[in-house]
Every structure is written in C-alpha cells, then in structure tokens.
C-alpha cells in the first residue's frame, strides 16, 4: 500500500469498525491490488459490524480471508455476550404487589373499577355543548377548537 495505513480511515468510521478494517488491510497487504483490497476490507467490516451481505462469490472470498483476522473471534464473542438476554423472576406473592390484578391479569391503576366517563350512558351528541371548555356566549370557530 502506498499511503500510511491511518490515511485510509474514514471520518465516519467508529473505532471498532476501523480497527477491524485496519487489521484486515494489514493481514492481506500485497495479495491484491490496492483498490481491490480496500473494497474487500470495507465489505468485510460491513459484514461483521453492520450485518450486510454481498453476492455469494464475495461472501465466500471474505469468509476465506477472515481466517487471518485474529480480532474477529474476540469481536464475535463480545457480540454474543452483549446479545444475551437476562431474565428476572417476578414476584409470586400477591401480598407484595403494589396494585391488584384485574380480570385480565394485568396491573392497572383502577384494577376493578370502571372509569367514570363524562358521556357514559348518554347518547353522543356532537353539539358544541359536549366539548370541554365550551361557553355558550363565545363563538366557536375552527381555530379556537384546535387551540384548546
């Protein structure tokens, strides 16, 4: 490679992305033309870091070249560890629960109470008297309605 290896780093690359790509570049320096090596290194980092996929021929070549990148196994183990899901056992004692459980088995603020709705058991009338903050002496226009 003609330039210093650090000059190939892109300003948007994270440290993890760059370290993986840099190791790939150094491991395969001299095996390909500079342009091809840069393309393969970018594709390799995209596959491993971002989960991208490429045509089968490229993926086969990247898999073969990945064997010489030593930090790849560390990265994969780190990712596997970060993806583990930890489960915490919930409380089984009903006395320790903050709110009672309603018929559906879910916690709600008003577990077994019906909420008191203002229009409950009334025929819905779309007249302006049913809107909140309506005063019969005021003329209600569209702007006033939407600004309430």
Give the residue extent of every domain in the chain.
5-80
- Which tokens go with 116? 């008191």
In a structure prediction context, what are the per-residue pLDDT tens digits for the chain, which is 148 residues long?
Answer: 667 888 888 888 888 888 888 888 988 888 889 999 999 999 998 888 888 899 999 999 998 988 888 777 777 777 777 676 666 666 555 666 565 555 555 555 555 555 566 655 555 555 545 555 555 555 555 555 555 5
134 exposed, middle or buried (CB, 10 Å; 0-12, 13-18, 19+)?
middle
Distance CA 21, CA 13 (A): 10
Report how far apart, in Å, the C-alpha atoms of 84 and of each of 31, 51, 80 are.
38, 18, 7
Model pTM score: 0.51
């Amino acid at each position: 490679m003609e330039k210093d290896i650090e000059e190939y780093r892109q300003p948007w690359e994270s440290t993890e992305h760059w370290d993986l790509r840099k190791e790939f570049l150094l491991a395969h320096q001299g095996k390909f033309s500079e342009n091809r090596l840069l393309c393969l290194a970018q594709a390799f980092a995209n596959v491993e870091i971002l989960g991208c996929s490429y045509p089968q021929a490229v993926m086969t070549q990247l898999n073969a070249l990945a064997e010489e990148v030593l930090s790849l196994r560390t990265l994969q183990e780190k990712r596997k560890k970060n993806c583990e899901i930890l489960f915490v056992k919930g409380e089984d004692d009903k006395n320790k629960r903050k709110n009672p459980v309603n018929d559906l088995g879910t916690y709600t603020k008003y577990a077994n109470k019906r909420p008191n709705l203002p229009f409950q058991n009334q025929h819905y009338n779309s007249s302006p008297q049913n809107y909140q903050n309506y005063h019969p002496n005021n003329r209600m226009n569209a702007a006033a309605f939407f600004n309430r």
